[in-house]
A and B are shown apart, each in its own frame.
Chain A
Amino acid sequence: MTPAIRTSTADPVALPEGIQGIVADWSSDQRAFKNVPWGKAMMWIFLLSDTFIFSCFLISYMTVRMSTTDPWPNPSEVFALTLWGKKIPLILIAIMTFVLISSSGTMAMAVNFGYRKDRVKTFVLLLITAALGATFVGMQAFEWTKLIVDEGIRPWGNPLGAAQFGSTFFMITGFHGTHVSIGVIFLIIVAIKVIRGDLDHERPGFLTGRKGKYEIVEIMGLYWHFVDLVWVFIFAVFYLW
């Protein structure tokens, strides 16, 4: 490590890397998370807490699924769709997965164009992300309707087997869908802020005196990617198990 004794303020002192960097950051004054706007650090901490909530759901699901003595309904068949006269297993969920991954891709690019201060591209990409998110929620509504109306699946029981199937399914996908819906609303809010030029002119937002900056697009992006991340785990352990 190079000794960092400097008095010049022309350019910032280099921060140590590696384990030394961790110790230096955490023991430093003012703030532990360097090079990160505090809004972003707070979003990460919120996402950490949300990780624990979703993990509690998924681990509880694993526990009830492993401990039930009734047969578990086969997700491959429950979520199959008949397309063009052919029954395709799990196809609806596969399409939902691709829709959500695509929305993550457009979100990542929106963040990138945001930092380049390309207002129009950021706005359009945010709107595409919101549209894909809304599509996902729409398909989920279709899936729920199919399960409730056609297959008679209820949170307290179903004709296919273990009662725990319905309770965990509605709990987990419902909570995830709520996250997606909230995300869509905030994506639209951020998109409007971008196209109005609030972030270029550093106008303070609603209920806050802080200046608007393009970092809010990245913070929004963190939340949105997290929603996609949770879906990766739900897809693997709920639908593919």
Chain B
Amino acid sequence: MAAHVEGQQHPIGIYLKIWGLLFVLSTASYLVDYFHFQGYLRWFLIITFMLMKAGLIVAVFMHMLWERLAMVYAILVPTTLLMVLLGIGALEADYTFFTRGVFFLKGLF
């Protein structure tokens, strides 16, 4: 036996439960489109289901839940920095849209 156990060992039931939950969440996000929800409700539901699915996959299927914090933080903290890129992208897109509006459709503004 090695000095410490390196394998991840969990009861098989937890994977089946998460699998089921992912099916339910995927169906729910499909129904958002099927029933033509629009506006903020659509956005709220899509983003919520997306983040829940992503969380379940990372936490359970990829075993993040049982890793040491040194590992979890090394992966998740850099990922949150992408929010900055997202913000910059949105600002830039708004500005581009505005200038295009001014340039292409002079009558509109």
Interface residues of A (CB under 8 A from B): 12, 15, 17-19, 21-22, 25-26, 32-37, 41, 44-45, 47-48, 51-52, 55-56, 59-60, 62-69, 76, 89-90, 94, 97-98, 101-102, 104-105, 107-109, 111-112, 115-116, 214-215, 218, 221-222, 225-226, 228-229, 232-233, 235-237, 239-241
Interface of B is mostly: helix
Q: Is the CB of A108 within 8 A of B6?
A: no
0/1 string, B81-97, CB within 8 A of A gives 1: 01001100110111011
A131 to chain B, nearest CB (A): 17
Per-residue CB proximity of B60-79 to A under 8 Å, as 1/0? 11110001111101110011
Beta-carbon contact of B12 and A109 below 8 Å: yes
Contact check: which of B7, B8, B57, B68 meets A25 at CB < 8 Å? B68
Q: A34-B68, A35-B5, A55-B82 are in contact. Are A229 and B58 (CB under 8 A)?
A: yes
In this complex, the member of B4, B30, B67 whose beta carbon has the largest number of chain A beta carbons within 10 angstroms is: B30
Given A55-B85, A236-B29, the answer on whether A218 and B7 have CB atoms closer than 8 Å is yes
Closest CB in chain A relative to B56 CB, distance in Å:
10
| Contacts of B25-57 to chain A: CB distance below 8 A | 26, 29-30, 32-34, 42, 46-47, 49-50, 53-54, 57
Q: What's the nearest-Cβ distance from chain A to residue B106, in Å?
A: 12
Whole-angstrom distance between the Cβ of A231 and the nearest chain B Cβ = 10
Is A36 a contact partner of B71 (Cβ separation < 8 A)?
Answer: yes
Complex: how many Å from CA A44 to CA B8? 15
Q: Which one of A34, A36, A63, A104 contacts B93 once the chains associate, using CB atoms below 8 Å? A: A63
Is B50 within 8 A of A232, CB to CB?
yes
| A47 / chain B contacts, CB cutoff of 8 Å | 75
Docked Cα-Cα span, A81 to B40, in Å, equals: 27
List 19 A–B pairs whose Cβ atoms lie within 8 Å, in order of A's numbering.
A33-B71, A35-B68, A44-B75, A63-B93, A65-B93, A66-B94, A66-B97, A67-B100, A69-B97, A69-B100, A90-B34, A94-B30, A98-B26, A101-B26, A104-B61, A105-B22, A218-B7, A236-B46, A241-B46
Contacts of B16 in A (CB 8 A): 105
Please report the C-alpha to C-alpha distance between residue A44 and residue B71 in the assembled complex, in whole angstroms. Answer: 9
Return the chain B residue nearest A25 by Cβ.
Answer: B70
B93 touches A66 (CB 8 A): yes
Task: Provide the bound-state CA to CA distance between A32 and B73, in Å.
Answer: 12
| One of B6, B60, B63, B97 near A37 (C-beta < 8 A) | B6
A12 to B3, CA, bound (A): 6
Q: Within 8 Å CB of B105, what residues of A?
A: 69
Q: How far is the CB of A96 from chain B (nearest CB, A)?
A: 10
Residues of B within 8 A of A215 (CB): 6-7
Closest to B93 in A: A66
The chain B residue sitting closest to A34, CB to CB, is B68
